[in-house]
Chains A and B, each alone.
Chain A
Amino acid sequence: MTNVDKLSKADELTGVDELTGVDRLTGVDRLTGVDQLTGVDQLTGVDRLTGVDELTGADGLTDVDALTSVDDSARVDGLSGPVVVEVTGVHKSFGALHVLRGVDLTALAGTVTVILGPSGSGKSTLLRSINHLEKVDRGLVRVGGELIGYRQSGSKLHELSERQILKQRAGIGFVFQNFNLFPHLTALENVAEAPISAQGKPKSLVYERSRELLDRVGLSDKSDAYPRQLSGGQQQRVAIARALALEPQLILFDEPTSALDPELVGEVLDVLRDLARAGTTMIVVTHEIGFAREAADNVIFMDEGQIVEQGPPAQVLDNPRHDRTRAFLSKVLS
């Protein structure tokens, strides 16, 4: 093995006859029977790669398609991991208003995706189409590899029944701008409702876990309070606990701090940061640039129903490539 600058987490690496010019190779669990592998600049998150006879000049292996064909991994600007959300070619109109114009989005497990953009740019609609609160006109949405809202057989897409869609939604948390807590239920009942009735878990277990979740968002003393007895920030934290209670593979946040007083924004963002650190897969529509800079793995800037640019926060926020991004940021940051 020559010219390996960095090779980490290689649990098993056997039968490598020649492997040259590798600059970075991380997270390889098993790599067998590689006869020749040269000029690899970056190859990350490979779980299993077998029987590769010859793979040369693999600079071109940054291509997402090439890697997903090997296993379930993908790269989004330096990130790696299994794909949780895959939105492809999504269009959506409300009457004459073309809100989404061909949006592609990929979110990887354990990453935080922040969507920025002026109001009316389609951010919320995109988010709502991921859990099928909005039905898209064209394009596909996959969460955890599962097509949302449809069943594919051959070249036909069969619309799922309401029941099946509800089942899919239970795996996707959603936090609303206006909290939408159930006002006639206590904080604890709000959190416990879905695991009991949507997932059929035993009551005592759910209540115990719901108390833990309220504790996690710092509201263990408010479990018997009704939403109207709580401040906006507290209500939103209950709403986050409610979304977490389903143990979703993904949580969508639709401007979670926009309805809050400035002094209450911080407590909600703290919870979001905690979740991000704990490796929750999140897609957050927000205007909190500070949060995006600090917590996001991938920042997406949308305008007029399209993704204008995306990348790590340092790139999109500090060194935007597009004028529209720059114009938006200068307005928001000033």
Chain B
Amino acid sequence: MSVLTPIQPKNAGPPADDDTLTVVPARHPWRWAGTALVLVLLAQFAHGLATNPGWDWGTFAGYFLEKSVMEALLVTLQLTVAGAILGFLGGIPLAAMRLSKNPVLATVSWGYIWVFRSVPLLVQLLFWANLGYLYDRLQIGIPFGPGWSFATADLISPFGAALLGLALHEAAFAGEIIRAGLLSVDQGQHEAAAALGLPKHRQFFKIVVPQAMRAILPNAANLLVNLLKSTSIVYVLAIGELFYQVQVIYGRNGRVVPLLMVATVWYVILTATLSILQYYTERYFARGAVRTLPPTPFQRLKAVLSR
């Protein structure tokens, strides 16, 4: 038998010259042992979940879709969506400024990111909520000229303070994520776009951004999931979001664990939804990056079922 056997077609049998030879696949006993161990542990955990009365699934079910919980969930979603939009809207100019050749702009952006990444979100939120102590009135208008002035307390509600804090905090991180994405685009792409004389905005939005998105998306999704969970911190401002609301309820009835589970399951569901969105968005921007896209889990399932 030669050392280099030509690759056989799949159904042609073992790669042997002689029909009397058969191939015995290698055995992996430890893989089986490991699998069995993990399955036993999982079964134990599931059993515990089902039988331990401490989980109190009845209470969980009673509150999972309860009206006040739903309203709180809506607040959480509002904070997440508005925070993400404002955060990324802020991140775009921050990234552009840091990449700018103008040293003043680059330094200002660097300074912003430094400060807002350094100050813990919780501290920041308390700061914004107490802005009225620092600035009694806020004024907009022509610099050093006339303008309109508002009482800070009227202008910044607790929800506004929470949103402001989340958005400013997000913007610092989003700026860095966007900058990383823009830097990941090959210099040759910028040159090719410039050599073709494409208008500047077209170079940016049609050539650079779609390629930067591949690097931006996984990090942006991370940031978004983090933001979703960070909204639980704003309970310190007594805003009726999900975590605050379950605390209110278990403060009343003392059933801490099932109500924490209500919040937990909702966070998990929202994160799972985001992950699915992330998967398909990433797939969209992977166009041309790989020769053929791998099948989606759905397509794989369909292929298995139709076999």
A174 to B193, CA, bound (A): 10
Q: Which residue of A lies closest to B214 (CB)?
A: A184
**CB-based contact A166/B200 at 8 Å:** yes
For B207, list chain A residues within 8 Å (CB): 182
A183 to B285, CA, bound (A): 11
Minimum CB–CB distance from B199 to chain A (whole Å) comes to 6
For A183, list chain B residues within 8 Å (CB): 211, 288-289
**CB-based contact B198/A180 at 8 Å:** no
Size class of the B contact interface (CB-based, 8 Å):
20 to 34
Contact code string B190-225 (vs A, CB < 8 Å = 1, else 0): 011111111110100011001100000000000000
For B195, list chain A residues within 8 Å (CB): 131, 133, 169, 172, 174, 176
Asked if B189 CB lies within 8 Å of chain A CBs, one says yes
**Dominant secondary structure of chain B at its interface with chain A:** helix
A48 to B244, CA, bound (A): 90
A227 to B288, CA, bound (A): 7
Total A-B residue pairs with C-beta atoms closer than 8 Å? Answer: 79
For B290, list chain A residues within 8 Å (CB): 228
Contact code string A136-166 (vs B, CB < 8 Å = 1, else 0): 0000000000000000000000000011001
**CB-based contact B288/A169 at 8 Å:** no
**CB-based contact A166/B197 at 8 Å:** yes
**CB-based contact B198/A166 at 8 Å:** yes
**Most central of A171, A176, A184 by chain B CB within 10 Å:** A184
For B198, list chain A residues within 8 Å (CB): 166, 193-194, 197-198
Q: Which residue of B lies closest to A169 (CB)?
A: B197
**CB-based contact B289/A194 at 8 Å:** no
In the complex, which of the residues B197, B285, B287, B291 contacts A194, with contact meaning CB atoms closer than 8 Å? B197
A198 to B207, CA, bound (A): 13
In the complex, which of the residues B189, B192, B211, B288 contacts A228, with contact meaning CB atoms closer than 8 Å? B288
**Most central of A163, A167, A180 by chain B CB within 10 Å:** A180
**CB-based contact B194/A166 at 8 Å:** yes
Q: Which residue of A lies closest to B190 (CB)?
A: A180
For B53, list chain A residues within 8 Å (CB): none
Asked if B34 CB lies within 8 Å of chain A CBs, one says no
In the complex, which of the residues A131, A174, A181, A229 contacts B291, with contact meaning CB atoms closer than 8 Å? A229
- A180 touching B288 in the complex, CB below 8 Å, given contacts A163-B199, A168-B197, A169-B197: no
Asked if A64 CB lies within 8 Å of chain B CBs, one says no
For B287, list chain A residues within 8 Å (CB): 184, 226
Asked if B188 CB lies within 8 Å of chain A CBs, one says yes
A280 to B291, CA, bound (A): 34
For B192, list chain A residues within 8 Å (CB): 174, 176, 180-182
**CB-based contact B206/A228 at 8 Å:** no
A interface residues, tally (CB under 8 Å): 31
A184 to B211, CA, bound (A): 7
Q: Which residue of B lies closest to A230 (CB)?
A: B291
A172 to B206, CA, bound (A): 21
Asked if A108 CB lies within 8 Å of chain B CBs, one says no
Contact code string A226-259 (vs B, CB < 8 Å = 1, else 0): 1111000000000000100010000000000000
**CB-based contact B197/A242 at 8 Å:** no
State which residues 95-132 of A face B: CB under 8 Å: 131
**Most central of B186, B192, B207, B291 by chain A CB within 10 Å:** B192
Q: Which residue of B lies closest to A185 (CB)?
A: B288
In the complex, which of the residues A171, A184, A198 contacts B288, with contact meaning CB atoms closer than 8 Å? A184
Asked if A170 CB lies within 8 Å of chain B CBs, one says yes
For A197, list chain B residues within 8 Å (CB): 198-199, 202, 206
Asked if A178 CB lies within 8 Å of chain B CBs, one says yes
A239 to B126, CA, bound (A): 56
**CB-based contact A180/B188 at 8 Å:** yes
**CB-based contact B191/A167 at 8 Å:** no
* The 9 A-B residue pairs with the shortest CB-CB distance in the complex, in nearest-first order: A170-B197, A226-B288, A180-B192, A174-B195, A169-B197, A194-B196, A180-B188, A198-B197, A166-B197
- 15 further interface pairs, Cβ-Cβ under 8 Å (given A167-B197, A174-B192, A183-B288): A133-B191, A133-B194, A166-B194, A170-B196, A171-B197, A176-B192, A176-B195, A178-B188, A181-B192, A182-B189, A182-B193, A186-B288, A198-B197, A228-B288, A228-B291
Residues of A within 8 A of B (CB): 131, 133, 162-163, 166-172, 174, 176, 178, 180-186, 193-194, 197-198, 226-229, 242, 246
29 A–B pairs (Cβ distance < 8 Å), ordered by A: A163-B199, A163-B200, A166-B200, A168-B197, A169-B194, A170-B196, A171-B197, A174-B192, A176-B188, A176-B191, A176-B192, A176-B195, A180-B186, A180-B188, A180-B191, A181-B192, A182-B189, A182-B211, A184-B285, A184-B287, A184-B288, A194-B196, A194-B198, A198-B202, A226-B287, A226-B288, A228-B288, A228-B289, A228-B290
